[in-house]
Amino acid sequence: MAVINIEASQLGPGGVVIKENLEANAGEPNLVVISFSATSDAADLESFIRTLPALTIGVGALNSQAKLFDLVTTDLGQGQRWIAGYEKSPLAAWTAALLLRDPSTSIWGGITAESTAYSTLLAGEMFNRWRSTHSPLSTTAESDQLVEIEVRAGIRIITLNRPERHNALNPALRDALYHAFATALVADEPVVWRGNGPSFCSGGDLYSFGTAPDPAQAHVIRITRSLAWLAHSLAPRLVVGIHGASMGAGIEIPAFASRVIAADNTQISLPELRLGLIPGAGGTVSMTARSGSNRVLELLLDGTVIDASRAHNWRLVDDVVAYSDLDDNLIKAAEARR
């Protein structure tokens, strides 16, 4: 990997300086940081920056050029935090940036492209190193009903019921939720999706990561059991209530819904980079549609947790309510979709 820092005024015709650096580091997941000042002259930047095979960050006084970069900031400290995030997981950060830069024009195409990239990273050195230190948990007794389904006054209520694991998605819970979504799809009712326990969903169960026979098979499973696609298909009548930890898949899949209501104790994050991975539950599609690709990449690289208020400002959720009022608000929102 390489971090290439350069002043915009030094780019040369067609960004020749950057191209020379990238050529010298061919085969590596590079990061390019271009700094701008009031006197920067980079009129021909658009001719090459969008097709650079590198994560790109623009720092400083950007105007029309801002839209060309994967990330932009006027805060040098913020820029350094993004660089630090990249350095922790260069290949995954690079993969996410290129995937988010030019999103598919179709939902299905985007979900498929994300899964392909995700499965490729499952074979990467960083994920395998992480996996070697995380052995699967021994089987423990869990509820026989991992997903509860109730139809109440014409509203279908789907509830995740693995509270002792913060509703983390393991293969059993994924398959039960897939069945619940598929059944809801052929019914003609508004759908509420919620979670029991302290959290809505803390994402994929870490102890089930990498348990498919191989990355290619993992891709097949992810596509043929795509909760993202079913959530998108249900979206016009799907209302989701999130609370507590809503990490990874716990925000990626809900973001497809027409209405996402967050309790005031909601904590959202995309922790995949520390595993050497990218979002794999549709987040590069759903969250990008809501908040823009820059926000998704920022959340990934920062590795930070955002609260319900910031998630609302970023349009990742549509409403924020007191936790005690969450269920009532979900039913009201569902009733409006009759």
Domain boundaries, the chain: 3-88, 107-335
Tell me what pLDDT residue 13 has.
72
Q: Tell me 105's DSSP state.
A: S
Tell me what pLDDT residue 206 has.
85
Tell me what pLDDT residue 1 has.
76
Kindly list the strands in the beta sheet with 259-263, ordered across the sheet, starting from the edge strand earlier in the chain. 147-152, 155-160, 191-195, 238-242, 259-263, 319-321
State CA 8 to chain mean position distance: 31
Structure tokens at 35: 């700094």
What are the C-alpha distances in Å from 169 to residues 21, 108, 175, 198?
42, 21, 9, 15
Residues 6+ apart with CB under 8 A from 251: 242, 268, 270, 283, 287, 311, 316
What do you get for the CA distance between the two ends of the chain, in Å?
Answer: 53
Q: Which of 72, 75, 82, 52 lies closest to 273 in space, CA to CA?
A: 82
Structure tokens at 165: 């694991």
Tell me what pLDDT residue 207 has.
81
pTM of the model: 0.93
User: What are the b/e assignments for 289-300, b being 16+ CB within 10 Å?
Assistant: bbbebbbbbbbb
Tell me what pLDDT residue 39 has.
53
Please say whether the structural domain 107-335 has been given the CATH code 3.30.360.10. Answer: no
Instruction: State which residues of the chain have pLDDT below 70.
Output: 14, 38-44, 46-47, 136-141, 210
Tell me what pLDDT residue 147 has.
98
Structure-token match 């590795």, residue found: 303
Residue 150: CB atoms within 10 A of its CB come to 10
Instruction: Give the dihedral sign, CA 24/26/29/34.
Output: positive
